[in-house]
């Protein structure tokens, strides 16, 4: 294994497990919640395939960071976790506030996604793997697709895909 001291560290191994916890909370009710909000409904199959793809991407990014820690891997982590965890958490919080009701996935979004995301970002900044401008650019680039998708779902009754 490459020198983990130069990277985020072993904490990155938690990312797939945190994602799985979120998926387990979300999966029993998310498709029904989603279909109640969007005219172009989704199937359980689509929900599963999107989440399996996200898990595979998460594992690949974790492996890149573990075996080849670099400025590139740090940027990938920020980009991906901004999409997967930060923007998704904002979506779950906004969905619950908009509905004034529990949205499937809300608890793990708040309890796991947000603290983990900011903990990883702080580790990256502390180890000076990236300039703040690059972190911000990666974070915005990663978050935007999920934020747009969430806005479309909650306020336009539509979806990106």
pLDDT of residue 6: 59
**Tens-of-pLDDT digits for all 161 residues of the chain?**
444 455 788 999 999 999 999 999 999 999 999 999 999 999 999 999 999 999 999 999 999 999 999 888 999 999 999 999 999 999 999 999 999 999 999 999 999 999 999 999 999 988 866 678 888 899 999 999 999 999 999 999 999 87
Question: Quick one: what percent of the chain has pLDDT higher than 90?
Answer: 81
Which tens digits make up the pLDDT trace of 113-153?
A: 999 999 999 999 888 666 788 888 999 999 999 999 999 99
25 within some domain: yes
Give domain status of residue 151, yes or no. Answer: yes
Asked if the structure places residue 107 within a domain, the reply is: yes
- Residue 161 in domain: no
**pTM for the full model?**
0.92
102 inside domain: yes
The residues near 126 (Cβ < 8 Å, ≥ 6 apart) are none
pLDDT computed for residue 63 by the predictor = 96
Residue 27: CB atoms within 10 Å:
15
∠5-74-122 over CA atoms, to 5°?
Answer: 75
Q: What is the pLDDT of residue 109?
A: 98
| Amino acid 131: pLDDT | 77
Domain membership of residue 63 as a residue range: 9-156
Q: Number of folded domains in the chain?
A: 1
Q: Is residue 1 part of a domain?
A: no
The answer to the question of residue 75 being in a domain is yes
In a domain, 99, yes or no: yes
Q: Are 58 and 83 in contact (CB under 8 A)?
A: no
Please list, in sequence order, all residues whose beta carbon lies within 8 angstroms of the beta carbon of residue 91, skipping any fewer than 6 positions away.
Answer: 109, 146, 147, 149, 150, 153, 154
């Amino acid at each position: 294994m490459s020198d983990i001291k130069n990277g985020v560290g072993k904490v990155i191994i938690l990312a797939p497990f945190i994602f799985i916890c979120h998926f387990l909370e979300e999966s029993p009710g998310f498709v029904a919640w989603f279909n109640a909000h969007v005219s172009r409904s989704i199937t359980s199959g689509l929900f599963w395939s999107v989440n399996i793809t996200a898990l595979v991407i998460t594992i690949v990014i974790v492996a890149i960071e573990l075996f080849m820690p670099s400025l590139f891997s740090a940027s990938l982590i920020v980009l991906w976790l901004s999409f997967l965890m930060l923007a998704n958490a904002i979506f779950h919080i906004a969905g619950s506030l908009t509905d004034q009701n529990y949205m499937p996935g809300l608890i793990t979004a708040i309890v796991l996604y947000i603290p983990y995301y900011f903990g990883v970002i702080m580790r990256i900044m502390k180890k000076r793997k990236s300039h703040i401008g690059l972190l911000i650019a990666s974070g915005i680039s990663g978050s935007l697709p999920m934020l747009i998708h969430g806005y479309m779902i909650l306020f336009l009754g539509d979806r990106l895909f």
